[in-house]
Structure 1
């Protein structure tokens, strides 16, 4: 007994009767197999044949052939058939017929190749007017390519979700443009509306929190990852009868719901609704799918950036302290500017700690690195420092304990590095940190400073003079758990401001330590007024341009290093209308190299002295005095310098004290003597000088009286002594 199926003729006979050919294209092998009818349709003898891709390509119009890759890719993405209209050419390049191809593509992920099995069927050529409007014509293709380039550029530049949605709403697609857009996302097992355009506010309410199993096109797209095209209200109503009443009231005629896919995962759906009928040809679907891919990538970047900014803000708020609004007798300002890239939170930090004694501690530091681990270590170290300070320890003890703490934290890193190396990851090295700790007495202005490898503080005097304050210091924290951190004591006079900062403020922009400090000095000297907030902004702006208290965004992307700045000003004004400038400096027996810093301090103090020759003379004399203390006594040299009086008529007084009771004696050294010229120089160069015995030790002093460079010193003119070179590390006997 014959079954019903056995009465059907073979498939090949049916296709031949319908003048439809079959073909098989294997991109991995680079061959195309054609049956007899397919061979005839492309202009070859009517015999089954297998050709190379290049041989088949020669039979098709080049414009149409170039469309095939896009059509196949779209069909694979949408899991639909690939349909194309192709023009067949003869050997002279003339179009002999037009065929319609329909195929089912299969993508082989292991080698990235396609395999297509399909049919060819001759179709009637379109009239000239219709052909001009065909999606495969050159004009449409050029406008489409220009549109996609512009759309991709605009979406790539969008930095937030709102901006991405604005760009998507403004896209004008070639030949067809939707008048209603909506972007759907997925939260758990519910659909949500991320944004929309072309709808009144509140009209998205029925679609918010819609379960993913709802019979609604966007929900189906999110579930399956396949696009849904509805070319008419009838098609919408027949396929989604339950959701049709929600869509009917908007009066649209066609809809495209396209998956938003990132890294193979469907993150949502994009709806494009049209006020007129759209047939959604392969070319139109290709444009919509390409835009959806770019839109998905842009949304993914925007969401990641917004999450990163939110995390950055949270880290900054948790790690950076709130400065005390009022400190009796003092005011404080601070800035933190992160480097670009990553979480924009690095290893720089500052802190202000109320102490049990009623004083305050100001801390600034820099953990090595600009990554998340640096930020984590910074947070731990900041908490440890605050705990040690709150216990009432002195500055040197606070830094010693902090160094032991950081050493203990990083002791586990070698084990971590070994594990990372076994996993093929780059090892993480132990970190160290620089730090400057200042304990300030608001009542007296006394500052006790301990320094761990950090840049020295700077002092801006009330008249704008800026001095670097060299301080004793030790190794950075975390290098030696037994390191010592000597304390330096200075006094912040009324009207003076202390600046402490990390090296990001100094060395950014190709500057080294010297040129960077010169740039900061210029900003400090140019500042007018008592407003520390304005001064803090000016310092950061001098390096990077305008900034806020905590800068992020495009400006922060240009940062070379983190910046932390702390300013401390002692309130009030000096009693005198023209306050004296003064500085002091100690040179220990074991630190003869610091004599160079003594000379630099004096030059900075005399930065606006009218006669540069007098400045050179003063620097030479103080260098001789300090050197002789180190050479001829067993104690340290203490230099105190003061400038007092009205500009143009000021007096410089410099004293160098030591603990020896032996008074200097004037000598007459010979031409070849290497010492004994100290008092001779002072008689020649100083306007006045002397030696004052003290209870323990003595003080040698000299004075210079400011004069105009137009009035040469009579003593120098008469003696006509040659200029005496400044010694590098000291001079001879007094």
Structure 2
């Protein structure tokens, strides 16, 4: 060119450089080519316009599939779209390889974009270069495998710490950062969520940095666009204010990408490299995909951690502590929510100090109540109803009501709040709750028990014998507002432990009530530690180790909520408060009341006696004791208007023990020995006692009488007890010994 001559046109310059010019109108779906561009595509060397399908037919199909992702990435980041593409002829042969460079222009109103770019022929890639450049081949296959593995690993991460650990271990194909950092945003400040490849304390200058700071991560959070810095010179030129903070790390390239979820930028991810990286479109595509997966994983982890925090706070606010310490008694409890969701449910326990009362310990501690219950369901509503019911029970107990009155009022309360109508006029789903309420006198060990559809309690005696104690009960709370709840009185002897639990402990693992109780009984019998050890042993035997709301482990996969409450009256050898050895053999004792209206409980009394004699040396003597006990209790129900009180006591050393069974009633009529004929259906009771018992008698009382018998383990008497037709339901064919 001579001085003063006009500059050549853009087309002339590009033609002299063997570079074609094209324009892609995305809205119209048309591509306009100049003559050089048409030539490079194997068309006549003249300007032309093609449809998208027409232009697509000129490229290798694998390369064309890459175009959309590269263009979308450039549109999102406002950067150049660059790719290497293979040109095909009509026979499907590759005739040349071209490089396309373009910049998208997005219409601000419609969101449609237009691409204007260049096309230039380039040489084929040398062998081995595919791993570090954006061309089809091994690099693409490595990238796809990497993204699949990274996506799987990030999807399985359950906490923010696990997500960051996975991100730090990612090895990207062809280029791997040696420094990572995840930034968050709180109001107008930048925070550090986690980092890798830096020394402790290096994050200090970047923590709580203002979003207005001239720092790449702050800009990414502000704008939602990625920032790529291929060299220290780029970094220093674009961010001179923050360059001194990054300089001493000795890195050569940086990528700052937005962490975006549902259109909202929640933070930024920095990947820093100790060697120069050009950040080609394929490399940017990998980084962008990882950033999206990382954002999703962090979002899921944040939600899960928030739910766990909510669950923990909700349960801790609803479940009480077991203080203050009760002199002479030890209490332990465990609560384990079911797995899934917020892990909240309807099981609960409580310990309530009761007002007044004449029984006071030396420290001033008086009577208290233990409550355990289960509201129907494992959802948030069940947890809410549980909280309301627990407060109501505590209020009624604090007013001084007896156990039966406390449960009656609680049932009416639950019925009222579940049998109601919501604001939109729809009826609420009715719910019920089971409950076991025990009023405890720590000075005497007396337990007054009221039960509302809940599993019966069990007692572990001082020598390890375990009895399930049947108690009178009523309907679950909330079913009938006028339901009655009779009270059962038991005495907890020194070194004995009371177990109260919800059905989740019993029936988990495919067990029913019977097999579940047998499993729990074995654990109680083998226990020789303190109360916390026993509580942990019970829940761990059902579920195995993991974490829960009290000391001791449980797993995360649970079929039902579990609540366990243990009360031990401290005595020698119990393991909870006294370390002294047992000097005298412990005494086993059980007491059962059989009401006139509950003759079916005779079978329960027989079962109680069999459990009491589980290790008696002579099985025939056990059968004899059960038969005589059934006769005595049945006699009271048939021939008097009173209830029968059964007390059975086992004392002495093993092999030389004595069993004494006594049945008391309120009638003054004494039984008399008779001589029934062979066909008589009654009158053999005292004859039976005389034949089978080592000793027996009838004692008048101030009001009523008691009939008793004794068996001695060493005597072996009654090796072959007579068969009087004892039935399974508790009735005997000989209905009276009188």
Same fold (TM over 0.5): yes
Deviation at 1:261, TM superposition (A): 0.8
Q: Separation in 2 of the partners of 1:674 and 1:98? A: 111
What pairs up with 1:326-341 in 2 under 5 angstroms? 326-341=325-340
Instruction: Please tell me whether the aligned partners of residues 446 and 489 of structure 1 are also in contact (alpha carbons under 8 angstroms).
Output: yes
Is 2:456–2:500's contact at 8 Å kept on the other side of the alignment? Answer: yes
SS at match of 1:203: coil
1:124 maps to which residue?
Answer: 122
Deviation at 1:303, TM superposition (A): 2.3
Distance 1:42 1:724, change over 3 A: farther
User: Equivalences for 1:496-507 in 2 at 5 Å?
Assistant: 496-507=496-507
- SS at the partner of 1:415? coil
- Judged with a 3 Å threshold, the aligned counterparts in structure 2 of structure 1 residues 411 and 723 are, in CA distance, closer, same or farther, namely closer
* Cα offsets for 1:655-691 (capped at 9, x unmatched): 33333315254353545x6555544544554444444
Is residue 477 from structure 1 mapped to residue 477 from structure 2 by the alignment?
A: yes
Post-superposition offset of 1:535:
0.9
Mapped to 1, the partners of 2:685 and 2:121 lie a distance apart of 112
SS at match of 2:614: coil
Superposed, which structure 2 residues align to 1:257-656 within 5 Å?
257-324=256-323, 326-356=325-355, 357=357, 358-412=366-420, 414-416=421-423, 418=424, 428-529=428-529, 531-546=530-545, 550=549, 555-573=554-572, 577-656=584-663
| Mapped partners of 1:72, 1:105: distance in 2 | 8
**Secondary structure at the residue paired with 2:535?**
helix
Residues 713 and 393 (structure 1), Cα distance of their counterparts in 2 relative to 1, 3 Å cut: closer
Moved more, 251-260 or 625-634: 625-634
After TM superposition, the score normalised by the length of structure 2 is 0.86
Contact 1:340 1:557 in 2 (8 A): yes
Provide the secondary structure at the position in 2 that maps to 1:642: strand
SS in 2 for 1:643: strand
The 2-side partners of 1:181 and 1:263 are apart by 24
Task: Look up the match of 1:212.
Answer: 211
Q: 1:138 to 1:465 in 2, by over 3 A?
A: same
Task: Flag structure 1 segments of 5+ consecutive residues without an equivalent.
Answer: 1-6, 422-426
- How large is the Cα RMSD of the aligned pairs? 3.5
Deviations 1:422-458 (A, max 9, x none): xxxxx85132222211111111111111122221111
**Quick check: 2:332–2:567 contact (8 Å CA) kept in 1?**
yes
Q: Is the 8 A contact 1:131 1:137 kept in 2?
A: no
**Residue 533 (structure 1) shift:** 1.2
- Separation in 2 of the partners of 1:241 and 1:36? 42
Change (3 A) 1:90 1:623: farther
Distance of aligned partners of 1:381 and 1:164 in 2 relative to their CA distance in 1, 3 Å threshold:
same
The alignment partner of 2:199 has SS state of: coil
Question: What's the offset of the Cα at 1:532?
Answer: 1.0
- Is the contact made by 2:254 and 2:273 (CA closer than 8 Å) also made in structure 1? yes
Cα separation, 2, equivalents of 1:620 and 1:714: 13
Q: Residue 3 of structure 1 corresponds to which residue in structure 2?
A: none
Could you say what secondary structure the match of 2:494 adopts? coil
1:187 matched to 2:195? The reply is no
Verify the 8 A CA contact 1:359 1:442 in the aligned structure 2: yes
- Deviation string for 1:259-281 (max 9, x for gaps)? 00112210001111222221100
CA distance in structure 1 between the aligned counterparts of 2:491 and 2:67, rounded to whole angstroms? 81
The C-alpha deviation readout for 1:602-621, integer Å capped at 9, x for no partner, is: 11111112222332333233
Query: What residue in structure 1 maps to residue 576 of structure 2?
Result: none
Cα deviations by residue, 1:218-246 (Å, 9 ceiling, x for unpaired): 11111111111121223223323333333
Please, what TM-score do these two structures have when normalized by structure 1? 0.87
Instruction: State the Cα distance separating 1:724 from its structure 2 match.
Output: 4.3
Moved more, 362-371 or 520-529: 362-371
Which sits farther off after the overlay, 662-671 or 531-540? Answer: 662-671
Answer with 254-263 or 165-174: which moved more. 165-174
Please list the CA deviations of residues 299-352 of structure 1 after superposition, one character each: whole Å capped at 9, or x if unmatched: 222322333333333333322222225312111111112222233332222122
Residues 141 and 639 from structure 1, CA distance in 2 versus in 1: closer, same or farther, beyond 3 angstroms?
A: same
* Residue 577 (structure 2) aligns with: none
1:666 correspondence with 2:667 = no
- CA gap 1:715/1:336 in 2 versus in 1, 3 angstroms: closer
Q: What per-residue deviation string (whole Å, max 9, x for no partner) do you get for residues 114-162 of structure 1?
A: 9875656242223524754433242222322332233333333333333
